[in-house]
Amino acid sequence: MDKGCKTQAGLLAPVGVQPTGVRRVRWPTLVAGVAFLALLHLLVSPSIRPIYHSPVPLGSSALICPQETSLAPEKSGELWNDLTALHATNDFLMRAVGQLSAAVQIPSESFDEMGPIGEDERWLSRAPFVDHLATAFPLVHTSLELQKVNTYGLMYIWQGSDASLKPLLLMSHYDVVPVPPSSADQWTHPAYSGYFDGKNIWGRGSWDDKAGIISKLLTIEVLLEKKFVPTRTVVLSFGFDEEASGAQGAGHLAPALLKRFGPDSFAMILDEGGGTAEQFGGLFALPSIAEKGFANVKIEVQTPGGHSSVPPEHTSIGMLAALIVHFENNAPVASLEVDTPIFETLQCWAAHAPDIPGLLKRAILSARTSPVALKAVEAILLKDPIFKSIVGTTQAVDVVSGGVKSNALPEQAQALVNHRIATKSSVNATLTRDAELTRDLAARFNLSVTAFGELLTPAGAASFGSLSLTTIDTLEPAPISPSDAPAYRLLAGTIRATFHAVHKDEEKEIFVAPTLMAGNTDTRFYWSLSQHIFRYDHSSIVGEGIGEVHTVDEHFRAAVLVEMITFFTTLVLNADEAAL
C-alpha cells in the first residue's frame, strides 16, 4: 500500500495504516472497556437520555447490516468442490509456499524520486521478477494475453466466451519497500531468503504484496490446469511502483485499460486491502469501499539573511516553528457522520457483534435518525486517537528543513504537512483551511502571504519577509462504492463461502462490514473504470498470518496464503455466473 500509510490495509489501520499491515484492529477493543461506563455517565444528561428510549428494538438490528448468504458456484459447483479439496492438501500448501518463497527471493525495491525508466538503473530489478513469472506460471503465459505497459507493468487478459459481460479486474503490485542496510542483520531470517519455517514464509514483500500476486496467478494457473474456460473475461493488472505512489505502474496501466475497454467497463475491481478483524466478540471481514484523499502542502518562510551575531527577534525557523505549533493547536475537528463507510462499519458491529455494550449498541443503531444518539457515539469513540484519525481529516508535519550554517541567519525554512482527507471533505476545503490558519501568524511576524497561488495580503504592503503555501501533490477522497449493489453482494457472499469452506469444522461465524482505507492503493488511478472498487484480499484470517509490514521480520502465514487462493478461486467462479 501507499508509502505514507500502511495501516490497514483494511480497516483503519494506519496502511497500510502504519496502514502497518492488515491486522486485528485495536481501537474498538480499547474503547470497549470504557464504553459502558461512559454511556452511563452520559445518561445523566437530559439531552442524551431520550436516545435510550429509541423505538429501534435490539432484535431487529440485523436489518441494519444485512448479511449475504454464503455464495458458492452452482454451474461450476463440482469444480469448486474439487478445488477446495485440493487446496486443503499439504501438497498444494507446499506448492503455494514454493511460489511465494521464490517470488520473495527476487528483490524489487521502490525508492522515492526514481528517475525515468531506461535511465535509472534501479528499475532493472523488475526484469528478473517478470521473467520468473513466465516460467513459474507457464499456462498463464501461454493461455492469457500479456501486454507489458511502460516496460514493467503487467496486464493479463483471460478472454471470456461472452464479450457482452463486463470483465472482472484483479489488481496487485510486485514492488516492495527497501530493506535499509542498517537493519538487514536484525531479521530473524534474511530479508530476501523466502525462508519457510513450517508455518510462515519470511521476507520483504511476503505480505505486501507478493502474496497478492502469487495467489491470483496460482488461482488462474490451477483453473487452466482443470480446463476451465471463463464466460466472463478476467483481467489481471500488476503495478511495479505502488510503494512510490504508482505513477509509473498503475499510472500507465489504468489509461491502457481505459483505452482498451472504455470507461465504467469493469463489473468489479479488487485490489490489496482489508482482511478480517475481531471486534466485540465478533469476526468481521472488512472490504474497503473507499479511501481517504490526501494533500501534501509545503509551507515556506523567507526572510533576510545576515550574521547570527545580530539576530532579529524571530528567525525564519522560529516563525516556521510558531506556525507549526499553531497548526497543531488548531487541528481539524473530526466528526462522525452518517452515510460514510466508517458509519456503516459501526452499524455492522452494533448489529452483529455479540459483546458490544448494550447502551452503545442502541446509540449506534439509533444514530442514523437521531442527532443526539450520533453525538453520544461520537463523544465516546472520538476519544480514541486511532478512531479519531480514521474518521476525520488529519494533518502531520513530516519534514522540516532550514538554515545552512551556525553563524548565518536562515534565509529560508520550510515544512511539509501531510493531510489525509475525510470522505465528506475535499482537497479545496483542506487547502482553504490551511490558508486561513496562516493569516494571523503572518500578520504577527509581518510576512506577506501567498497561498496556493493567491496573494492573501495587500499587494505592495511592506513586509519583513514572505510566507508561501504550495501543494506538492493532492488527491480527492475516492468515490464510495455502493454496498447495496450486486457487485458488493457477490463479494460478501464469496467471502462467507470461502470462510465456511475453509473453516467448516469450526463454529465461528463471519460477518462482512464495509469500511474505509486511511491510505491509498493503486486504485487511485482506476476510478473511471468501475463504480465498484473494493480493497480486499482475504489476507488476514482470525488475526493470524501477518508479520511486521514495511519493517524488520515481515512474514506471511502459509495457511492464509492458501485461503487467499480459495477466495480468488471462488470469486472468479462466482463472477462467471453472476449478473453484474
Residues annotated as catalytic (active site), given as ranges: 175, 242
Q: Which of 186, 414, 386, 249 is nearest to 316 (CA)?
A: 414
Task: Give φ, ψ of 265 to 5 degrees.
Answer: -100, -5
Q: Give the span between the Cα atoms of 203 and 194, in whole angstroms.
A: 5
Query: 341 by DSSP, 3-state: which?
Result: helix
271 is an annotated ligand-binding site residue: yes
Q: Give the span between the Cα atoms of 228 and 573, in whole angstroms.
A: 10
C-alpha cell at 31: 474503547
Please say whether the beta carbons of 163 and 261 come within 8 A: no
Query: 446 by DSSP, 3-state: which?
Result: coil
* 209 cis-preceded (ω within 30 degrees of 0): yes
Q: Give the span between the Cα atoms of 424 and 478, in whole angstroms.
A: 10
Grid look-up 454511556 returns 39
Q: Give the span between the Cα atoms of 533 and 179, in whole angstroms.
A: 31
209 is an annotated ligand-binding site residue: no
Residue 338: CA count within 13 A, CB half-sphere: 14
**143 Cα distance to chain centroid:** 32
Q: How many residues does the chain have?
A: 580
Which residues are 470's β-sheet partners?
298
Q: Which of 110, 201, 93 is nearest to 553 (CA)?
A: 201
Which residues are 534's β-sheet partners?
270
Burial of 162 (0-12, 13-18, 19+ CB in 10 A): exposed
Which residues are 290's β-sheet partners?
516
173 is an annotated ligand-binding site residue: yes
Which residues are 148's β-sheet partners?
154
221 is an annotated ligand-binding site residue: no
550 is an annotated ligand-binding site residue: yes
Grid look-up 431487529 returns 60
Binding-site positions for Zn(2+) read 173, 208, 243, 271, 550
